[in-house]
Amino acid sequence: MKKTYVDVLQALPPDETLHQFLASHGLAVPPALDAQPHEPPNRAVIEAIMTWGDTSARDRLTAELVASVALGDAAGGQAMFEATVNDPAVLTGLTFCQSDLHRSFWLYVRHRALFERASDLDRDLRRDHGYALYPELEFTVPVEQGGDAHARACVRMAEVRQSLALIRQTLTAIAAGPVMRAEAVEAADPDGEGLGWVEGTRGGLLYAVHLDDARKRLVRVKIKEPSFSNWRVFPFTVQDSNMMDYAINEASFGLSVAGADR
């Protein structure tokens, strides 16, 4: 059943984030939001909203309250951690929240862009940072909302269909003649550095390469593979699961210990 704004307020702690949200909408914040013993949480806030004379502002505030907890379940919790995995400060903030509903509200108020990203995580290096022939090809990035092992399996099956479609497009565009290319695709970096990336089956794979002054030997190679990000999200996806579900969930990620080695 869909939550009302009263349900949301009764589930949120009376913290600074709630103060910030109410103030941003122009509601006079009660001097003390802490509930007294035997009182429902945030009763003063609920009464202030109900008696607010500005009906338009009140409707906007209550609508946003309901929208702010759209990610307030287990699947939404996983999506939030996936969307913020590369931002340690935000990730820490989510960890300190009391529930998935609280995390959703906190992210909505303090980091709206990340909230929107988590609502429909749609990222692909082939499209967002096109390389090789991908900018000239047409394809769709499969996205699922379930956030569980079944959803990840559905994404992989959809990716297979997209890959077959890409192969068919490419085959019809190949010109007659040799298929091997010996010359470099682009000129070498004068500083002896290079950054390359591909969209792998589990996410983005990046290589940073540094050559010596003679441009003959590698002096440093930095690899960032999908497991480095996915391992940080994984613990939040197995909470309250039994041992059988744990194995299936872990397999759906395809995690590599070596991939997270720094």
Answer yes or no: are the C-beta atoms of 125 and 201 closer than 8 Å: no
Strand 218-224 to 193-200 pairing: unpaired
Residue 84 inside a domain? The answer is yes
Crossing angle of the two packed helices 74-83 and 226-233, in degrees rounded to 10: 140
Tokens 């009763």, located at residue: 43
Domain boundaries, position 100: 5-119
Does residue 168 sit in the same domain as residue 192? no
Number of domains the chain is built from: 3
Report the amino acid identity of residue 13: P
Are 142 and 231 within one domain? no
Identify whether residues 112 and 199 lie together within a single domain. no
Evaluate whether 185 touches 177 at the Cβ level (below 8 Å): no
Residue with tokens 């010996």: 182
The last residue of one of the domains, among 73, 91, 119, is 119
One domain for residues 13 and 90: yes
Instruction: Please indicate, yes or no, whether residues 192 and 114 belong to a single structural domain of this protein.
Output: no
pLDDT tens for the chain, 262 residues: list them: 567 889 899 889 888 888 888 988 888 766 655 545 555 678 888 888 998 888 888 888 888 888 888 888 766 777 787 777 777 888 888 888 888 889 889 988 888 777 766 666 667 888 888 888 888 898 888 877 666 777 778 888 888 999 999 999 988 877 777 776 677 666 777 788 888 888 887 888 888 999 888 888 889 998 888 887 777 667 766 666 677 777 887 888 888 887 776 5
Answer yes or no: do 41 and 110 share one domain.
Answer: yes
H helix or E strand, kind and range, residue 211 = strand 203-211
Residue 160 is assigned to a structural domain of this protein: yes
Kindly state whether residue 26 falls inside one of the protein's structural domains: yes
pLDDT, residue 167, reads 92
pLDDT, residue 139, reads: 87
Query: Residues 89, 64: one domain?
Result: yes
| Statement to judge: residues 155 and 231 lie in one domain | no
pTM, whole model, 2 decimals? 0.52
Q: Are both 100 and 197 inside the same structural domain?
A: no
Residues 10 and 115 in one domain: yes
Residue 97 placed within a domain: yes
- Asked if residue 124 is part of any domain, the answer here is no
Residue 177 has a pLDDT of 77
Q: Is 223 contained in some domain? A: yes
pLDDT at 239: 62
Assess whether 24 and 78 both reside in one domain.
yes
Q: Could you tell me if 22 and 107 lie in one domain?
A: yes
> Is residue 138 within 8 Å of 172, Cβ to Cβ?
no
Residue 130 in domain: no
Q: How far apart are CA 28 and CA 136, in angstroms?
A: 54
The whole-angstrom separation of Cα 130 and Cα 234 is: 28
